[in-house]
Structure 1
Amino acid sequence: MQLVISANSRMASILLDEVRAEDLHLAPRGPAPVSAGGASARAGAVPPVSYMHICETESFSMGVFLLRGGACIPLHDHPGMNGMLKVLYGTLRIACLDTLPAAAAAPPPAAAAAAGPWQRALLRSRQLYTRASPPCLLAPHTDNLHQIDAVDGPAAFLDILAPPYDPEHGRDCHYYRLLEPPAAEPPALPREVWLLETPQASDFWCGGEPYPGPRVSP
């Protein structure tokens, strides 16, 4: 069964790599940046991130996320889920992490000052992705936590999750704060870090937009 799933994932990744913004009737947005102001700026404001729903079944969900220039989808997880992310336009910086087993060691002093519990994680990668890049893949135990930042302007990506989020079955989205010690030079990756589960950030919310592309039949 694992070999079949792996083969299907490879084929899906190859097919997804061929998808372009034009195929979904999307065009790059203007350079309007994200406004500062947090939750107080939401009234009448354009959301930093919008979602175009394409389809969803019990097995998978598919949609497009659109990020304004400077927007960030905060660090979050995908419990028990596989996923594929393909950039349609723009540039994204994607940080990928794995959770690690609990350790007897106490978190560093900077973490102890905040409300816990903290947990160990492995920061595996922090890379730039464009439409020329292959899809970014996540699995239940590898690269399952992501932070996604739009770099140098607006960006969009096609997002496929299998199975989809479902809080009733333990697949709810959780947000995290990443603690990294200050360093004169960027530390090498991968490396261990500490995470704190947090509420959704006040300056992040996701709006909805109609999907303009061709109909997708599951």
Structure 2
Amino acid sequence: MPKNSKTSLIQTIASQAYQTFHNGASSGFGENNVFLEHQAVLVTLLSKITAADLNIASPKKVSRKSAEAPVTYMHICETDAFSMGVFLLKPGASIPLHDHPGMNGMLKVLYGKVNIRCYDKLEIAVGADAKDESQFEPPQGDAVSRAVLRTSGQFTVQSAPCVLSPAKDNLHEIDAVDGPAAFLDILAPPYDPNDGRDCHYYKVLQTVGRKEQGSEDEVWLVEIPQPDDFWCGGEPYPGPNVSV
């Protein structure tokens, strides 16, 4: 059998991603045992992927001219069920706090180190908590939400994939640490503004505090336009062909 007939790992990941996510509304996946089994297989496969598998290497020299995009994206494939690609972050670059409405996601670092902070919105109306000790008055007319910081930590090539769902860790921000970084990204289903899955950006207005010892930090978030210092460029994907 010719050597090039062997299925690449990224093709296997794409096929497993389709099998995991193709059955419809992601909001119902969390309680579905079949989905969880498929998702576990996908996480295991993602844990094995390396930059070399995609013909990607950490740049030895990184130009950071002001006119260049701080983040670039390599598109690998997209179906109605999921999209997959690679994000490359220049040193000091950040992907601002943003959401993934009704979407599942997975992120696996290929090189470098990133810090990821994940938040969840809380189902609480502004001003509804009479015992709120923050004494914070949200700006009138702004889209303000109460949220909780669920997780915060650094991820490297040795780390397990970061996994988000429609209900947990859905909002996150990603910062490159100590140099350039890259990660493989899967979103299911893909962003689609026409189907209620548009990307929204946020900033933390104020930390509310913790309700009790050991609980997560609660914050106020305000929706903002895409920050002026963040935009995403494009680069060709140099890895094995993928078809789904």
Q: TM-score band (shorter)?
A: 0.7 to 0.9
CA drift of 1:23 comes to: 0.1
Aligned partners of 1:31 and 1:69 also within 8 Å = no
Q: Name the CA shift for 1:182/1:172 in 2 (closer, same or farther; >3 Å).
A: closer
CA distances 1:56-115 after superposition (whole Å, capped 9, x unpaired): 000000000000000000000000000100000000000001110123038856663575
Alpha-carbon distance in structure 2 between the residues aligned to 1:33 and 1:93? 21
CA distances 1:146-180 after superposition (whole Å, capped 9, x unpaired): 10000000000000011110111001100001134
- Which of 93, 96, 101 is residue 74 of structure 1 equivalent to? 96
Alpha-carbon distance in structure 1 between the residues aligned to 2:189 and 2:166? 11
Kindly report which structure 2 residues correspond to 1:94-133, keeping only aligned pairs within 5 A, or say none.
94-103=116-125, 104-105=128-129, 108=134, 112=138, 116-133=142-159
- Which of 57, 61, 70 is residue 27 of structure 1 equivalent to? 57
Aligned to 1:211, the other structure's residue is in SS state coil
Gaps of 5+ in 1: 36-40
Aligned partners of 1:71 and 1:150 also within 8 Å = yes
Aligned partners of 2:81 and 2:189 also within 8 Å = yes
CA drift of 1:118 comes to: 1.3
Name 1:7's counterpart in structure 2.
37
Kindly report which structure 2 residues correspond to 1:30-179, keeping only aligned pairs within 5 A, or say none.
30=60, 32=62, 34=64, 41=66, 45-103=67-125, 104-105=128-129, 108=134, 112=138, 116-179=142-205
Name 2:18's counterpart in structure 1.
none
Name 1:190's counterpart in structure 2.
216
Alpha-carbon distance in structure 1 between the residues aligned to 2:191 and 2:208? 34
What letter is aligned with 1:55?
A: C
Aligned to 1:112, the other structure's residue is in SS state coil
- Which of 39, 46, 62 is residue 16 of structure 1 equivalent to? 46
CA drift of 1:181 comes to: 4.0
Aligned partners of 1:94 and 1:129 also within 8 Å = yes
Alpha-carbon distance in structure 2 between the residues aligned to 1:189 and 1:217? 44
Alpha-carbon distance in structure 2 between the residues aligned to 1:182 and 1:163? 33
- Write 1 or 2 for the structure with the bigger share of helix: 2
Root mean square deviation of aligned Cα: 2.3
Taking structure 1 as the reference length, the TM-score comes to 0.88
Aligned to 2:41, the other structure's residue is in SS state helix
CA drift of 1:33 comes to: 6.8
Q: Which moved more, 1:26-35 or 1:159-168?
A: 26-35
Aligned partners of 2:207 and 2:217 also within 8 Å = no
Taking structure 2 as the reference length, the TM-score comes to 0.79
CA drift of 1:191 comes to: 1.5
Aligned partners of 1:111 and 1:118 also within 8 Å = no
Task: Compare relative contact order (CA 8 Å, sep 6+) and give the higher one, 1 or 2.
Answer: 1
- Larger Cα-atom Rg: 2
Alpha-carbon distance in structure 1 between the residues aligned to 2:119 and 2:208? 19
Aligned to 1:12, the other structure's residue is in SS state helix
